[in-house]
Amino acid sequence: MIPVTKTFLPPLEEYQQHLKEIWNSNQVANGGKLLFDLQRELKGFLGVDNMILTANGTLPLQIALKVLGEKGEVITTPFSYVATTSTIVWENCIPVFVDIHPEFLTIDETKIEAAITDKTTTILATHVFGNPCNVEQIEIIAKKHNLKVIYDAAHCFGVKYNGESLFNYGDISTCSFHATKIFHTGEGGAMFCKDEDLYKKLFYSHNFGHKGEEDFHGLGINAKMSELQAAMGLAVLPYVENLINNRKIIIENYDCLLNFEKLRKITIRKQSEWNYSYYPVIFENEEKLLMVQKALNNKKIYPRRYFYPSLNNLNYVAFQEMKISEDISNSILCLPLFTGIRKSEVEIISGIINNIV
């Protein structure tokens, strides 16, 4: 069987070395040594100043919207994982969709201003498959209309734009450290923020509002990462650069083997250092996609329709037609990509696709 992805697990003995520290300290949660070690290592690796580690990748979005969304309208993309939209609704904000760019697959910044009303508080955009949004234009629009910007950067670990971490853009950026990601803590995430006052609000919010043991700064929830999660992160981090390089080679193999006369790929924005996190291909139509998917499944190969469906079709949001997003969602397929997939398997996958398209 060839799945769409596989979790990278570090050598067991290396993970166990970190676990021994937990057993010796008897501290499993609430900001132990391993959490601070991981935070320090990640800051250096990523080139960021302020970072808060969290128990999963959705909590940072929830906290960001709680702090900045103010129960208003949030301009967002219909082409993302469901958490981007469900979090907006969960936090009692109203999603207002803006269609996507057909090549970059990120929110089309030229259509944002037309969606702004006097109820708009925030722009929540996704760097799709680790591909940066047009952050310069979004910042100009946000400043012009006094809006806040949150980036769902779940796929962006290690991505740089204009020579610096993509997490340094926007008022708040969030990331997922889920087991399927290049860097993971089993389950986990982080939020990034350059403004010191906003950082303090985020920090208090992720720890019940605690300000010391007996005082509370304000409303908060429990979003803290555990020592067990931090241990996994510390064991995985030394391998990340090799993992990215390995994925780059796999993608280059796909690029050489696939017939792109009737397929197309995502266009990575210029000035980006990509992390090769996913390999999506876009078919002529949904019929061809379904034919390919069936043929691959018959060989126990399991790509994923990602992202599908277009989020404007969710039954808990007001429908807004998003033609480009709907067309892309109906015709995009993420092919298997993970450390350990063999070139011969990539050849089989590519051959099956080429025979159909």
Using a pLDDT cut of 90, give the percent of the chain over it. Answer: 96
181 pLDDT more than 80: yes
Mean pLDDT, range 322-347, rounded to an integer:
98
211 pLDDT more than 80: no
298's tokens:
């018959």
Q: For residues 286 and 331, is the Cβ–Cβ distance under 8 A?
A: yes
Ramachandran category for residue 9: left, alpha or beta (phi over 0 → left; psi -120 to 50 → alpha)? beta
Say which residue the tokens 């250096």 belong to: 44
Distance CA 215, CA 209 (A): 9
* Contacts made by residues 168-173, CB under 8 angstroms, sequence distance 24+: 168/47, 168/48, 168/192, 168/194, 169/132, 169/135, 169/139, 170/135, 170/138, 170/139, 171/68, 171/195, 171/198, 172/60, 172/64, 172/67, 172/68, 172/148, 172/198, 172/202
* Band (325; pLDDT cuts 50, 70, 90): very high
Q: Alpha-carbon Rg of the chain, whole angstroms?
A: 21
Mean pLDDT, range 327-341, rounded to an integer:
97
12-238 belongs to CATH 3.30.450.190: no
Q: What is the pLDDT of residues 152-174, one digit of tens each?
A: 999 999 999 999 999 999 999 99
Mean pLDDT, range 202-229, rounded to an integer:
88
Which 3 state secondary structure label does DSSP give 296? helix
First to last CA, the chain: 23
107's tokens:
């929110």
239-356 belongs to CATH 3.90.1150.10: yes
64 pLDDT more than 90: yes
Q: What is the pLDDT of residues 18-42, one digit of tens each?
A: 999 999 999 999 999 999 999 999 9
Mean pLDDT, range 235-243, rounded to an integer:
98
213 pLDDT more than 90: no
Domain ranges of the chain: 12-238, 239-356
Pick the more confident residue, 333 or 216.
333
Q: What average pLDDT does the structure give for the chain? A: 97
* Contacts made by residues 198-206, CB under 8 angstroms, sequence distance 24+: 198/67, 198/171, 198/172, 199/50, 199/52, 201/67, 202/52, 202/63, 202/64, 202/67, 202/172, 203/52, 205/63, 205/66, 205/67, 206/52, 206/54, 206/59, 206/63
Which 3 state secondary structure label does DSSP give 65? helix
Which 3 state secondary structure label does DSSP give 336? coil
Residues in the chain: 357
* Band (212; pLDDT cuts 50, 70, 90): low
* Cis peptide, bond prior to residue 309, ω within 30 of zero: yes
* Band (215; pLDDT cuts 50, 70, 90): confident
- Alpha helix segments (H runs only) across the chain: 12-25, 33-46, 59-68, 82-90, 135-144, 196-205, 227-236, 240-257, 286-298, 323-331, 343-356
Distance CA 278, CA 259 (A): 18
Q: What is the pLDDT of residues 297-317, one digit of tens each?
A: 999 999 999 999 999 999 999
